[in-house]
Amino acid sequence: MTNRSVIHKKRIITIAGRPGSGKSTASKAIAEQLGYEHFSSGDFFRAIGRERGIDVTQTNQAAENDAEIDRLVDERQTEIGKTQDQLVIDARLAWHFIPGSFKVYLDLDLEVAARRILAHMDPIRKAHEHIPDDPAQYAEALQHRLELEATRYEAKYEVDLHDLSNFDLVIDTAAHKPEQVMELILDAYHKWLDT
């Protein structure tokens, strides 16, 4: 793990976590509250898939054999970390590519996550990505996607996505409302900046 004591802190918050844990909601709200810009690598990743006519799971599978997909996403995050400040990023690996960021992980049981996602999902995305209506089946699909990502990232970057010690703050979002999650992150972020 990187020695954080020698890394220059940036006014960048990187938010990672499980699907449905509220990464997008939290990152957008925090960016607005702080007057920071917002970036989502998930949206960027989906856009790459749409350009190729495939869904997010298929894009993950394709990325195992097509290094160009990860390279595009990784280069974008690295560039952002070097050239920008006052930013909130919703991305699985932004904490790795921007070591001087305040690193947050949002945790959530996958079946709870599946119910949350299905309740608010755009019908067009649901049809395009062939997402099942049953939360238990969708939770299995989410688990499969996470396993694909974890295997790929460990092989490419020697990064363990399950090691929560990589993060400055871990929150179980099942136990907190979105407003509370935002408050917890903002409070911890301001303390982190002051240390």
Kindly write down the DSSP assignment for every residue of 36-53, as one continuous string. -EEEEHHHHHHHHHHHTT
Domains and CATH numbers, the chain: 4-194 (3.40.50.300)
159-168 pLDDT, tens digit per residue, is: 988 899 999 9
CA–CA dist 194, 172 (Å, integer): 25
Tokens 């097509």, residue located: 66
- Tens-binned pLDDT, residue by residue, of the chain (195 aa): 444 445 789 999 999 999 889 999 999 999 999 999 998 877 777 777 888 888 877 887 787 778 888 788 888 888 888 888 999 999 888 999 999 999 999 999 999 999 988 988 888 877 777 788 899 999 998 999 889 888 888 988 899 888 999 999 999 999 999 999 999 999 999 999 998
SS3 content of the chain, % helix, strand, coil (to 5): 60, 10, 25
117-163 pLDDT, tens digit per residue, is: 898 888 887 777 778 889 999 999 899 988 988 888 898 889 988 89
Q: How many CB atoms lie within 10 A of CB 94?
A: 28
What is the distance of C-alpha 94 from the center of its chain? 8
pTM of this prediction exceeds 0.85: no
